[in-house]
Structure formats: C-alpha cells, structure tokens
Amino acid sequence: MRDREKEIQRLARKAGKRVATVILMSGDHNHQSSAGSTTFQVSTSVRAAVAAIPFVHDIGHVVVIISHEALKLADLDGFSGWHLVIDETPSILDQQGLQTDLTRDFFEKHYKLNANGKRSEITSVSRTTAADLRRDTLASPIAVMHSRVLSDRTVVLTDIMDWKELSEDGQWTWTSIWSPDQLAVFSSVLILANAFERSLTFAILKRVWPEIEWVPHHRLALRQYRPRKMVIRYFADRHAASRSLFSSDLGKDRLAKVARWISAEVEPASHIWTCNQADAAVIQKHLSEPTRLSPRQAGSNSFAAATTVSAIYTAKATPAERTLFRDLGIDPHVATETREFETIFQFVCRCAVRDPENDQDLTVHVYDRNQAAYLAELFAATGYVDATTELIDLGFADALPPRGKPGPKIKPKSAAQKAARDEKARSKARNRKRRQRARNAMAQDQMKENSAQRRLWVKGRR
C-alpha cells in the first residue's frame, strides 16, 4: 500500500494537485497518524471505517487505499459518484474443507442450514463476530467462513443438509462467491490486472453474472523500458508440479535435486526464491534462507536489483473445487493459471524486470514446462523482454506423472477380511442413500415454500 500511495503522490505533484490519501489497515487499537497529506488510520473495524469515509472526506480530491478484503466486506452505499480502481485481480471465491467430528454441537449452536437445491445455505443464529472467532485458538480456523456468513454480499453454501450428518462423517466443505452487485454505486469501476480475462475471477463473473458488460481498457505506458533478455529454465517436460507429487518421497527427491542444481548456479546476492511452505524444509537445505520470500510477496521495489529468480511452486484446484467448477461450467485449468502460473509471474516481477533502466540478462527457474511457457508468453508480450525457455534434465525431465498414490503395496486380504470390507461398504451405501432421501425431501419442502427462483451458487442482492 505504501508503494501505491507514494506513486499517487508523485503523480499528483506532477499534475500540480494536492490529494488527500487515506490508508486503512486493521489493528487492535484505533489511532490515526499523518505524514504530509497522507493519513494512516488503524481500526479494529475496517468495515465500519470504510463505510464512514465518504462522510468524513467529502471535499476536494481524496484517494482511499484499502485491501481487496475490505472492499468485499464494507458497506459501499455512501460511495455514490466515486470512481473505483481495483489493482490486481481480486479473489471472489472462498472454499474450505473441514474435519469437525467433535464439534457438531458448536455448529448447531451458531449456524442454521437452509436447503438450497442440492446444497444448504449457512446462516448465523448467534451474535458471535469474526473477531471473536479469530481470538479463540480452536475456533480461529473458521473465522473466514463466519465473516462470509455475516456478510450480506456473499452466500455461503455447503454440501451437507443437516449438522447431524457430522456424527457419521465429519468431513465437509463450504463455498462462497462474492457478489459484485454492490459496485454499481460507483460512477466507474476499473480493474487493472495482468491477464485478467484469463483469471478464475473473470470466468466466475462471466458465468454467474452474464449481464455485466466488460470494456477493455488500454492504458498508456508511463515509462519506457530498456530491452532485456530472460531465460526461463524448467526441469520437468512431461509431468507437472503438484501437491501430491511434492509430498511424496519421489517428489521430495526431485525437489532436492532441483534445489542443489540452482544453488550451484546462482549468486545468492542477486537471487530471490520462493516455494510452498510445505516444501520449504526440503528446498531450504540447499538454498540461502535470507533470499527466500513469500510466493505472494507484496508489490515492492525492495528486490528490484535481483537478476535471478526461482519459484518452485504449485497450487492446483482441490477435488472439491474441481466439482464446483464443473457445476459452474468452468475449466479447472483456469484455476491453475490464476493460482499457480499467475502467482509465479507476479513473484518474478519483483526482480530487475520491473526496473525500466535495468537491461541486465535475467534468469528464472520454475518446475515444469507449462509454467515456463506461461511466463515466456506473458513476458514476451511486454515488448521489452526477449524471453526464451530452456529444459534442464536432472534425470526426470521426461518422467511421466506417477500413477496412483505413493505408499506401501497393499497386502492381499483374506476371505473374512474381504467379506467384512464388503459389508462395511454396503452399510455406507445404505447410509448415503438414506441421507440423500432426507436431503431430497428437505429440498422439495423448501422449493414449495419459496416460489421465487434462487440461483444455485450466489443469491444476488441488488
């Protein structure tokens, strides 16, 4: 946010304007401080602070900088006539898998399930706030879900119809999609994001809100970049990075080989790298820890001197998400581009490629060919980066994706064991059918009560 604020003030001075800038951040105490024309406001309730801005700053030019999360949660009705610029692609989909075998009573006490077709909408029946849950060690993992339940801008759905089902199987998933309807109050809405039309957010908005009109915006380049070359090296040609692979012994061995090779090739002083937290223990044995950054490193010029970048990262859609995408008619590969490829692209953009005057050669390391191809395509499209790819064979470049799950071989079962297994499977099948009949009955009852047609995934609020 500070980088954005500094750039706004620079452009304002160039235009001979004085602009009041308000940066809102969450915190444990309310206080305000000022630096020139910039106000730093820390509040325990960013949602309330955002809603109050139009009534506090109603004279002259005002620029308000908030997070995507604050935008999605706040009441924006007071911003009529304002202009909204969304920097980078916002995530409008939230999904979380939970295992709650022992906490059924908690969910029954705080939430109600309302039948919505084949799924249930979760609504709150208590006065508990998201902040209350975040302070509780055991309840904090569902604070995000609770904030979505409380918001009138999202609907939260789950694949269970009755909390009693948790007694038989405590594994379940909730999903929410944020509605853009509230943005209609602004005079204009401009989204500035790389490859936005290829993003998961765009795919969901097009599918669920087909009435939205999208107009391309081509902004003029404010700076001229010197030409530079970029070599994108990758290590797997016939299989892709994945969580299942990286978590296996085979995958850990490959990650170690990649890390050792990178370590021997790079100069630590000009190198930054990232990986999934789950793989850090393997990779950081060979790479310098001080140069490791978060995959979603905030936009900053702090690392603009780096000329070598390594991003050994994966973020594929989960099985539950793939089911959701199929129901929405969205190709799950779109999620891979958004969460994995684009995250890597943004991380690489932390290096010297962001410096207009730096024309040094750049080197990037990623795991597989698909990641490398995505980077090469987007960087070549800038017009000032000559991007090429190079395969590094460490002995597994042509390896096919491993079949099945890694682990010990299954021992043959005796006749008695097979009979017990079959009976257990039949019992589960009977229970599933019984639950399904109950769900269908509840859904039919609910449909009779509600004559208005409701969307399956998102309840629009206008």
Count, residues in the chain: 462
Which has the minimum average pLDDT: 175-179, 341-345, 455-459?
455-459
What pLDDT is stored for residue 223 in this prediction? Answer: 78
What pLDDT is stored for residue 429 in this prediction? Answer: 59
Q: Which are the contacts of 271, defined by CB distance < 8 A and separation ≥ 6? A: 288, 291, 306, 308, 309, 310
285 phi and psi angles, rounded to 5 deg: -65, -20
- The share of the chain scoring above pLDDT 70, in percent, equals 80
Contact in structure between 310 and 287 (CB atoms under 8 Å):
yes
Q: Which two tokens stand for residue 350?
A: 């932390």
Is residue 28 predicted with pLDDT exceeding 50? no
Q: Which residue has the higher pLDDT, 4 or 109?
A: 109
Contact in structure between 233 and 310 (CB atoms under 8 Å):
no
Instruction: State the average pLDDT over residues 433-450.
Output: 58
**Predicted confidence (pLDDT) per residue in 77-105, tens digit:** 999 999 999 988 999 998 888 998 888 89
Instruction: State the average pLDDT over residues 242-264.
Output: 96
Selection from 32, 31, 26, 23 nearest residue 66 by Cα: 23
| 9/48 Cα distance (integer angstroms) | 26
What pLDDT is stored for residue 402 in this prediction? Answer: 78
**Predicted confidence (pLDDT) per residue in 126-164, tens digit:** 999 988 999 999 999 999 899 889 888 888 988 889 998
Is residue 305 predicted with pLDDT exceeding 80? yes
Q: Which residues of 128-153 are buried (b: 16+ CB within 10 A; e: fewer)?
A: bebeebbeeeebeebbbbbbbbbbeb
Selection from 352, 396, 135 nearest residue 229 by Cα: 352
Selection from 233, 243, 376, 405 nearest residue 315 by Cα: 243
443 phi and psi angles, rounded to 5 deg: -65, -40
Q: Which are the contacts of 453, defined by CB distance < 8 A and separation ≥ 6? A: none
| 38/69 Cα distance (integer angstroms) | 21
Contact in structure between 304 and 360 (CB atoms under 8 Å):
no
Beta-bridged to residue 34, according to DSSP, are 39
HEC secondary structure over the chain: CHHHHHHHHHHHHHCCCCCEEEEEEECCCCEEEEECCEEEEEECCHHHHHHHHHHHCCCCCEEEECCHHHHHHCCCHHHCCCEEEEECCCCCEEEEEEECCCCHHHHHHHEEEEEECCEEEEEECCCCCHHHHHHCCCCHHHHHHHHHHHCCCEEEEECCCCHHHHHCCCEEEEEEEECHHHHHHCCEEEEECCCHHHCHHHHHHHHHCCCCCCCCCCCCCCCCCCCEEEEEEECECCCCCCHHHHHCHHHHHHHHHHHHHHHHHCCHHHEEEEECHHHHHHHCCCCCHHHECCCCCCCCCCCCCCCEEEEECCCCCCHHHHHHHHHHCCCCHHHHHHHHHHHHHHHHCCCHHHCCCCCCCEEEECCEHHHHHHHHHHHHCCCCEEEEEEECCCCCCCCCCCCCCCCCCCCCCCHHHHHHHHHHHHHHHHHHHHHHHHHHHHHHHHHHHCCCCCCCCCCCCC
Instruction: State the average pLDDT over residues 328-348.
Output: 93
Contact in structure between 149 and 122 (CB atoms under 8 Å):
yes
Q: Which residue has the higher pLDDT, 19 or 390?
A: 390
Contact in structure between 456 and 326 (CB atoms under 8 Å):
no
Contact in structure between 88 and 82 (CB atoms under 8 Å):
no
Selection from 296, 312, 294 nearest residue 251 by Cα: 312
Instruction: State the average pLDDT over residues 340-361.
Output: 95
Which has the minimum average pLDDT: 41-55, 338-352, 364-378?
41-55
**Predicted confidence (pLDDT) per residue in 175-201, tens digit:** 998 989 989 999 999 999 888 999 999
| Exposure on the CB side of residue 48, measured as CA atoms within 13 A | 5
